[in-house]
Amino acid sequence: MIDLDETHDPERRSWVKSANDAATDFPIQNLPLGIFSIQAQQPRLGMAIGDAVFDVTGAGTRGWLTGDAARAAQAGGAAHLNALFALGNGPLRELRRQVSALLDRKQAAREVLDQADKGLLHDRARCSMHLPARIGNYTDFYAGIYHARAAGALLTPENPLPENYKWVPIGYHGRASSVLVSPGSVRRPHGQLPPTASGQSPGFGPSQRLDFELEMGFFVGAGNLVGQPVPIEQAREHIVGYCLLNDWSARDIQRWEMFPLGPFLSKNFGTMISPWVVTADALRPFRVQAMRRDTGDPQPLGYLVDDADQRHGGLDVELSVGLRSQQMRQQGIAEVEILQSNARHLYWTPAQMVAHHTSGGCNMESGDLLGTGTISGPQPDQLSSLLELTFGGTRPVLLPGGEQRAFLEDGDEVVFRGKCRREGFVSIGFGEARGLINA
Amino acid sequence: MIDLDETHDPERRSWVKSANDAATDFPIQNLPLGIFSIQAQQPRLGMAIGDAVFDVTGAGTRGWLTGDAARAAQAGGAAHLNALFALGNGPLRELRRQVSALLDRKQAAREVLDQADKGLLHDRARCSMHLPARIGNYTDFYAGIYHARAAGALLTPENPLPENYKWVPIGYHGRASSVLVSPGSVRRPHGQLPPTASGQSPGFGPSQRLDFELEMGFFVGAGNLVGQPVPIEQAREHIVGYCLLNDWSARDIQRWEMFPLGPFLSKNFGTMISPWVVTADALRPFRVQAMRRDTGDPQPLGYLVDDADQRHGGLDVELSVGLRSQQMRQQGIAEVEILQSNARHLYWTPAQMVAHHTSGGCNMESGDLLGTGTISGPQPDQLSSLLELTFGGTRPVLLPGGEQRAFLEDGDEVVFRGKCRREGFVSIGFGEARGLINA
């Protein structure tokens, strides 16, 4: 069993009443980090608690935090969490422990309760969220094997699962500048569209096959130096927290541009993440065994193998995608859930991705973002992009109100959600990654 | 003719005597920017002049610069040039113009001459150079068509020049964190090595096919916002300057990992650039017509076509690669030049790369670095990587002293140089990108 402490205690309740609602993503057992602002004030570090945001920077300034936690709160007082992440998991864990005590119904001091309404606790609906980190580098992996098979069958039918797939945690460098925070919008990209026949000219115009990809993202805490790989045994300690990630994709642009150097403009017009970083610490109860290999699958090479990672390196996060079109909004029709999946369906663990990424000497920096790749599951309703779900656009999804979707239309809003549930524990969630398509 | 001013005047001489040597890369007509430091002092903005570095930050502090130039010098006073680049080409041009006057033998004020030896002019050999910018994003293109053909024939013989090549300025996102400044060393990466036969296991160990790639790099000045492409007519104004770029590559790792998402660990262990940014302004006399298309080649799509870019968008930069092994150093044998090429051999201009990069809405930030891709020429001694030069390692290069090189060995030092020459103008150069291979 992974070691747990009082912050995971299912009996713990908060004096913030909405945090005790069974449906909330943000009970006192979660306490994810984010950068928020109120009106024109300076962005600062907060933790989500129920329907509210607790001002951690303010708590630090008032002297309510001590030692490592005070240091962590101070590092997080900038408009981004890079300096806090750089401290690593120890101080972050202590910060979460002390804030948990401050928000605990039984433990909170009179002073905290008295001042809570005087500027330290904010209605979450009134807070603007910012990117949690200044993302110096963004890498996207391809660790969802069901996605690799399904997408591979459509994009490269002659070779659905690449020969290297079960050996190499395949990844590529994404665009850091266009990582956007939810809620937000992306503009439908224009680009070169594939020729309709070999020898014909490509077109140029708005993508006709705009898609989402359901992924999780995770942030680097302490970094490593160039030329100094992170061994697999230490890799997990370099990950400070997780979020939801929508790797918006233009399939027509992608198909034409990606040979031989990989996706470029088909992805770099925007990548959207949820604003709350759920800490590695909060996720401890929801760690599971890494995905089992099929009989006949090779054993990974030594630099990717660690017993503890095999036992606890997987994550049990239920994921879902909701869609609401402009017409549905106009007709007052609620968002419809079009697919569910689970982070268990990753062939490689986040620790394996970090170990692989650094194995040749590449340095990672605090605040770097890594994406898992699209997390599809084995069932037809677990295919986590429209490309897969509609079999390349040939079997459109039917929406309430009578519309069909092969790919995304202008005005469509896509919402990712993530939830961790386990018998004997309070469920925690990731909030939303919510994005609207504009013309 | 592109408009030139007194800074390009071939008659202009500097009171810094070494700047008047015909062989120098850094006559008064060049004045490239860099971030330098002396001993333990704070890194600051300098311009290379002959064998010296002129302290531009210091000149600004003393009030020798006015208006835009003073503003530019102040922006460049940080440990990186991002804020200076963000001002765009106008202030940068004015800065270069005023520093040129300060260093001019005829124009320099008594005060400048008197103080030059008191801390504003430094022996270049004693200066430490730093990365010129905090590189938020690094993109590498594939615009050298002779390289694409030669490398393609080796890596993907069934398809040497991709079907999209003459339509798409192919590029991919590189790793920003491991961009290193010359002079420096890179550690030979370990990684997965391709199976020796299909169905076999890959190996893991030090790359046996370590290579360089001769490229040029260029820096983004003023950026653009997400969703707002830069039109081709404006694209050149977003480029502030150029450097040499060595895209170190591990060919064995590359071959195994790169399908389907492109190169990753085979490149991200280190990318090396020369420390001096030769400004777009200094390069004006050396602009040439963009590469002529072969008969039968398609006209580029409209978003990539601009008359001025076709007339002046190319660059005439003579490039060379020198190599010196450990044994050669031990035996006192000088470096040997193993190939020459020229930036004229780029199929796409830098402006086309910027227009393409932003065409789907991707935002560029000040200080972003773009690489051209390997610049090979049509001749056998113009193939600008060992992969090409040795035909995949099958025809090793013979070194003085009797050694052979199919790929790089530990202790090898690789030196890139670049020079612009034109009748009626003073030649300017790029200095060196010098890198040593360590075990």
pLDDT at B305 over 60: yes
Stated length of chain B: 439
From the candidates A8, A80, A122, A147, give the one annotated as an active-site residue. A147
Asked if residue A385 lies in contact with residue A407, where contact means CB atoms within 8 angstroms, the answer is: no
Average pLDDT for residues B111-137, to the nearest whole number? Answer: 89
3-state secondary structure of B130: strand
Quote the minimal CA–CA distance from A127 to chain B in Å.
Answer: 23
Q: Is B363 an interface residue toward A (CB < 8 Å)?
A: yes
pLDDT of residue B117: 61
Asked if residue A102 lies in contact with residue A120, where contact means CB atoms within 8 angstroms, the answer is: no
Query: In chain A, whose CA is at the least distance from the CA of B203?
Result: A301
Quote the minimal CA–CA distance from B111 to chain A in Å.
Answer: 43
Residue B425's CB is within 10 A of a number of other CB atoms, namely 16
Q: In this complex, do A226 and B187 lie within 8 Å of one another by their Cβ atoms?
A: yes
Q: H-helix or E-strand containing A37? A: strand A33-37
CA distance A182 to A131: 9
Which positions 315-344 of B are in contact with A (Cβ < 8 Å)? none
Q: What is the number of CB-based contacts under 8 A between chain A and chain B? A: 197
Q: What is the CA radius of gyration of chain A?
A: 22
Cis peptide before B260 (omega within 30 of 0): yes
Query: In chain A, whose CA is at the least distance from the CA of B202?
Result: A167
3-state secondary structure of A245: strand
**B115 burial class (0-12, 13-18, 19+ CB within 10 angstroms)?**
middle
Which segment of A110-119, A169-178, A291-300 scores lowest on mean pLDDT? A110-119
Q: In this complex, do A250 and B360 lie within 8 Å of one another by their Cβ atoms?
A: yes
Contact list, B142 vs chain A (CB under 8 Å)? 261
Q: What is the pTM of this model?
A: 0.97
Q: Is B186 an interface residue toward A (CB < 8 Å)?
A: yes
Average pLDDT for residues B298-311, to the nearest whole number? Answer: 97
Q: In this complex, do A187 and B269 lie within 8 Å of one another by their Cβ atoms?
A: no
Q: Is B155 an interface residue toward A (CB < 8 Å)?
A: yes
Quote the minimal CA–CA distance from A247 to chain B in Å.
Answer: 14
- The token pair that represents B257 in the structure block: 């990992």
Query: In chain A, whose CA is at the least distance from the CA of B354?
Result: A265
- The token pair that represents B362 in the structure block: 């991707």
Q: What string of H, E and C letters represents the secondary structure of A122-173?
A: EEHHHCEEECCCCCCCEEEECCEHHHHHHHHHHHCCCCCCCCCCCCCCCEEE
pLDDT at B288 over 80: yes
Quote the minimal CA–CA distance from B262 to chain A in Å.
Answer: 4
Quote the minimal CA–CA distance from A394 to chain B in Å.
Answer: 23
DSSP letters spanning A176-232: STTEEESSEEEEPPEEEE--SSTTSPPEEEE-SSEE--EEEEEEE-S---TT-PPPH
pLDDT at A186 over 60: yes
Which positions 230-249 of B are in contact with A (Cβ < 8 Å)? none
Q: In this complex, do B178 and A363 lie within 8 Å of one another by their Cβ atoms?
A: yes
Q: Is B189 an interface residue toward A (CB < 8 Å)?
A: yes
Asked if residue A69 lies in contact with residue A47, where contact means CB atoms within 8 angstroms, the answer is: no
| E strands in B50-183 | 52-55, 121-123, 128-130, 138-141, 171-173, 179-181
Which segment of A197-206, A344-353, B175-184, B234-243 scores lowest on mean pLDDT? A197-206
pLDDT of residue B109: 78
Asked if residue B228 lies in contact with residue A230, where contact means CB atoms within 8 angstroms, the answer is: no
Interface test with A, best of B134, B138, B164, B210 (most A CBs within 10 A): B164
Give the tens place of pLDDT for each residue, A95-112.
999 999 999 999 877 777
Give the tens place of pLDDT for each residue, B91-114.
999 999 999 999 999 987 777 777
Average pLDDT, chain A: 95
Please give the DSSP secondary-structure letter assigned to residue B202: P
Closest by CA position to B371, among listed B135, B33, B83: B135
From the candidates B8, B80, B122, B147, give the one annotated as an active-site residue. B147
Which residue in the set B261, B360, B364 is minimally distant from A253, CB to CB? Answer: B360
Closest by CA position to B192, among listed A189, A298, A130: A298
Q: How many angstroms from the chain centroid is the CA of residue A408?
A: 21
Q: Is B255 an interface residue toward A (CB < 8 Å)?
A: no
Q: Which residues are CB-neighbours of B263 under 8 A, at least 6 positions away?
A: A261, A262, B172, B249, B254, B257
Contact list, A363 vs chain B (CB under 8 Å)? 177-178
Examine the predicted complex and report whether its ipTM is higher than 0.90. Answer: yes
CA distance B32 to B18: 16
Contact list, A304 vs chain B (CB under 8 Å)? none
Which positions 130-149 of B are in contact with A (Cβ < 8 Å)? 136-137, 142
Q: In this complex, do A176 and B176 lie within 8 Å of one another by their Cβ atoms?
A: yes
Q: Which residues are CB-neighbours of A118 under 8 A, at least 6 positions away?
A: none
CA distance A143 to B408: 33
Quote the minimal CA–CA distance from A346 to chain B in Å.
Answer: 18
Q: Is A268 an interface residue toward B (CB < 8 Å)?
A: yes
Task: Identify which has the larger pLDDT, A339 or A112.
Answer: A339
Query: In chain A, whose CA is at the least distance from the CA of B175?
Result: A173
Q: Is B292 an interface residue toward A (CB < 8 Å)?
A: no
pLDDT at A267 over 70: yes
Residue B228's CB is within 10 A of a number of other CB atoms, namely 12
Q: In this complex, do B202 and A176 lie within 8 Å of one another by their Cβ atoms?
A: no
Q: In this complex, do B178 and A142 lie within 8 Å of one another by their Cβ atoms?
A: no
* Strands lying side by side in the sheet with A336-342: A184-187, A428-438, A413-420, A318-324, A336-342
Q: In this complex, do A359 and B136 lie within 8 Å of one another by their Cβ atoms?
A: no
Interface test with A, best of B196, B251, B264 (most A CBs within 10 A): B264
Inter-CA distances, B290 with A423, B147, B203, B235, B350, Å = 67, 17, 44, 15, 10
pLDDT of residue A70: 96
Give the tens place of pLDDT for each residue, B139-159.
999 999 999 999 888 877 887
Average pLDDT, chain B: 95
pLDDT of residue A156: 76
Give the tens place of pLDDT for each residue, A60-85.
999 999 999 999 999 988 899 999 99
Contact list, A198 vs chain B (CB under 8 Å)? 163
CA distance A393 to A212: 13
Q: Is B178 an interface residue toward A (CB < 8 Å)?
A: yes
Place of tokens 């300690």: A237
Would you call B147 a catalytic residue per the annotation? yes
Q: In this complex, do B260 and A261 lie within 8 Å of one another by their Cβ atoms?
A: no
pLDDT at A192 over 80: yes
pLDDT of residue B199: 83
Which residue in the set B171, B180, B269 is minimally distant from A264, CB to CB? Answer: B171
Across A251-260, b (16+ Cβ under 10 Å) vs e yields: bbbbbbbbbb
pLDDT of residue B104: 95
